Structure 1
Amino acid sequence: MENIMIHVRFNNDATVSEIGERPSALTAQNWFNHLSRNTQNCYESLSGGRGVFRLSTEQLNVLKQEISV
């Protein structure tokens, strides 16, 4: 099973400015919110206004399908 890292970059006001693997139907902030609400123990805060979600490919596919429904 392959693992994926989704990188997140935050603005100074803590809103999301960039995030990887984002479906085109969502804003960066909405994709971050969806990942945060629907995963557990997958997010790691990093220094410099950054963070990363670590997900399996299968998990990511399920999360993206939830957006399409």
Structure 2
Amino acid sequence: MSTAVEEVVAEVPATAAEGKVVESLIHVSFNPDGTVALIGERPQGAAAQAWFKYLSHNTLNRYQALAGGRGLFRIPRPEVDALKAAFLKELAA
């Protein structure tokens, strides 16, 4: 059974000591078997499962599980850009 889920990426402002930091919310939805169906901010050409695994292994205390086979990562915008670049570099190697 396939469910159409719209990929949503939200940016939530958060304040920090040195100024304003934009926190990105990367939404994830899972298939009934636990594999990743959709994930936001996925680099072009990357598999959804591989991007989820990379984020899971390279971020600390950033993932929040939600009900209904969903979850999200809360990561500052500059860190998301750095993670994407490192992931693409790893894929190319």
TM category (shorter chain) comes to over 0.9
1:24 matches 2:44? yes
Secondary structure of 2:73's counterpart equals strand
How far apart are 1:49 and its partner, in Å? 0.2
Over the aligned positions, Cα root-mean-square deviation in angstroms equals 0.7
Larger radius of gyration: 2
1:41 matches 2:61? yes
Deviation sequence 1:3-61 (CA, Å, 0-9, x none) = 00000000000000000000013100000000000000000000000000000001101
Q: TM-score, normalised by structure 2?
A: 0.72
Secondary structure of 1:2's counterpart equals strand
Structure 2 residue runs of 5 or longer lacking an equivalent are 1-20
Q: How many residues align?
A: 69
Higher RCO structure, 1 or 2 (CA under 8 Å, sep 6+): 1
Instruction: Give the helix-richer structure, 1 or 2.
Output: 1
How far apart are 1:68 and its partner, in Å? 2.7
- AA aligned to 1:65 is A
The list of structure 1 runs, each at least 4 consecutive aligned residues, that deviate by more than 6 angstroms after superposition, is: none
1:64 is matched with: 84
Structure 1 residue runs of 5 or longer lacking an equivalent are none
Instruction: Give the strand-richer structure, 1 or 2.
Output: 2
